[in-house]
Amino acid sequence: MQANAPEIRNLNELRTYVHETLCELNDFEPGAFAITERLIVRSGEPCGIFFCMNGPRSVKVTAIWETDTSSVLFYGSTGERTQRTQLVRAPQLAAAAA
């Protein structure tokens, strides 16, 4: 269930990695479905990003990047965690919060 990711230097690389991984884990055609994201805030401070991809037949899969542990958690359509990726190097969240 745990995977190691290549070094991710910026938010665009993180978005690409999350999109490609969600497609791979759920047998979606890469690029066929849009992904949305929301900033996660705890006590007024940004602490991660919530990613959501709406697939075929109203299937919804998600991922959460948490900055505290520098990891990405991937969830399937029923809400079960399907993968945890420990990032070697994570981008700065301040750029997304601005």
How many angstroms separate the CA atoms of 6 and 9, rounded? 9
Asked if 14 and 65 touch (Cβ cutoff 8 Å), the reply is yes
The answer to whether residue 45 scores a pLDDT higher than 70 is yes
70 vs 1, higher pLDDT: 70
**Structure token pair of residue 81:** 């965690």
Instruction: Say how many residues make up the chain.
Output: 98
- Beta-carbon contacts of residue 1 (< 8 Å; ≥ 6 apart): 81, 82, 83, 84
| pTM metric for this prediction | 0.87
What pLDDT sits at residue 49? 96
Q: Per-domain residue ranges for the chain?
A: 2-97
What pLDDT sits at residue 55? 86
